[in-house]
Amino acid sequence: MTRKTLFIAFICVYLVMTLGSVDESRAQESSKPMTLKECMEYAISNSTKMRIQQASSGDARIARRDAILQAFTPSLSTGTNAYYNFGRSIDPQTNTYFTQTSFHNGYSLSAGIDLFDGFSAVNNLKISKTGLAISESQERQVEADICLAVMEAYYNVVYYKRLVSIYEEQIGTAEMALRKAEKQEELGQKGHADVVQMRSELADRQYDLTNMRNSYKDQLMTLGDLMFWPPEEELVIDTDVRSFAPAQDDNSVILREPATEESIVSYALENNPQLLIAEGTMLNARRELNTTKWQLIPSLSVYGGWSTTYYTYAGSQTASFKDQLKNNGGQYVQMSMSIPIWGRMQKQSRIAKQRNALAKATAEYDQKRRDVESEVRRAIQDRDGSEAAYEQARYKSEIQEEAYNLNLKKMEQGLISPLELQTATNNYLKSKADEMNSQFKYLIKDAVVRYYSGVEYVNQ
């Protein structure tokens, strides 16, 4: 084998190993469990709602730029024309008629600016600034809605995943108990009815497990849809329940940042995106009404320009193109005033419509302010209520787990019937489900209150 062949073989082996390691690292990265924060960030970066709103924000920035240019810069235009005249015309140089075909060429440059337009440009500048703020608030609101939906779906996935694990443990315990009971039946220590009852309980647990797995897959698909996760890739999330446990002190009391209800309400009324959108809409409605009112008074504009021409025809002794452009050039300055007298009540109708729009926007702002305040107070009440429910559910779960373990030992010793164990098992499973349900409900309610306090969902 030649050196060249050995070198090529070495390069091929190196490329195969390199590409294989890259694919393996990508696979490991894609299979890494995603946290709630990572799911939110992924959903925000891939959501079509965010893309649509970002496009609207781009339009608002363009409108802001156009308003600035309209308020502070003049309009500028230039033009040219060229034509042949085949009929009778006047020689500009001799001021006599001639009938030969002539060529004419003209150039012009003009500029104009409004000196007074009823404060329309100034109001449009303010409207565009508020419009940009509204668009940014809408973007924040869309982001918050996406994060809250992802959070609820994420907790649902964790909830059903944990239930699947609990039911799998219960099925394993039930299978062991059934095998032991069958051996005891063979030895005459248990009756056939007890064995049948335990088989029935095992079948119930297997049926419930199947439903839990189906619910888990359904919620995982819902989460993937909210995140715009690629359907061909597996979505793996962190389902460790301990990582979602609320912070507690030594006495198992939930810890949270001290904040009074009134301070949270006050902050929300000043910074909530929904309220900022309603307030900006009301301000713009008032400015548009003022702009329409000012259109009833005269407007003043000034224009200036320069123009020149060139002409020639067969047999003429016209000056050169350069000289004609210089000699035929002229400048002008024009000031114009527009005085509205009668416009068939169109402007008066616009004023009436803008006044109605302002009244509507004001009412919507007042309603939204009331809604936000009610939402905040209700969210605080729900958080406190869910906290109490979670603490009670946690205590009940501990008691039911202890009772279940005691009954399981009694069953092994033949002190209770399978029916009594089934009742204890059902109570235990229900208490575990209630504990997790109340835990995730509290986490969502607490996240909503923290959001109203100024902490974005993705930063919690």
Q: What is the C-alpha separation between 197 and 422, in angstroms, rounded?
A: 9
Tokens of 294: 């000012």
Handedness of CA 290, 295, 296, 299 (dihedral sign): positive
Torsion of CA 270, 271, 275, 276, to 10 degrees: 100
Surface-to-core class of residue 206, CB atoms within 10 Å of its CB (0-12 exposed, 13-18 middle, 19+ buried) = middle
Residue in the structure block whose two tokens are 């060529």? 103
C-alpha of 217 from chain center: 25
Distances in Å between the alpha carbon of 128 and those of 55, 122, 134, 272? 16, 10, 10, 20
* pLDDT computed for residue 281 by the predictor: 95
Provide the token pair at 433: 């489900």
Give the burial string for 379-415 (b: 16+ CB within 10 Å, else e): bbebbeebbebbbebbebbeebeeebeebbeebeeee
Strand partners, 102: 85, 313
pLDDT at 216: 95
Length reported for the chain: 460
CA distances to 176, 190, 200, 314, 374 from 193, in Å: 17, 8, 10, 125, 58
Phi and psi torsions of 330, nearest 5°: -150, 155
CA-to-CA dists, residue 14 to 7, 18, 23, 24, 28, angstroms:
11, 6, 14, 15, 21
Residues of the chain with pLDDT under 50: 19-29
Pairing of strands 89-90, 299-313: unpaired
Cα distances (angstroms) measured from residue 213 to each of 57, 61, 90, 208 = 42, 48, 95, 9
Q: Are 358 and 285 in contact (CB under 8 A)?
A: yes
Neighbours of 114 (CB within 10 A): 16
pLDDT in tens, 205-235: 899 899 999 999 999 999 999 999 999 999 9
pLDDT at residue 452 in the model:
94
| pLDDT for the residue 332 | 93
CB contact at 8 A, 372 and 406: no
Q: What is the DSSP string of 200-229?
A: HHHHHHHHHHHHHHHHHHHHHHHHHHHHT-
- Mind listing the pLDDT tens digit for each residue in 44-69? 999 999 999 999 999 999 999 999 99
pLDDT number for residue 119: 84
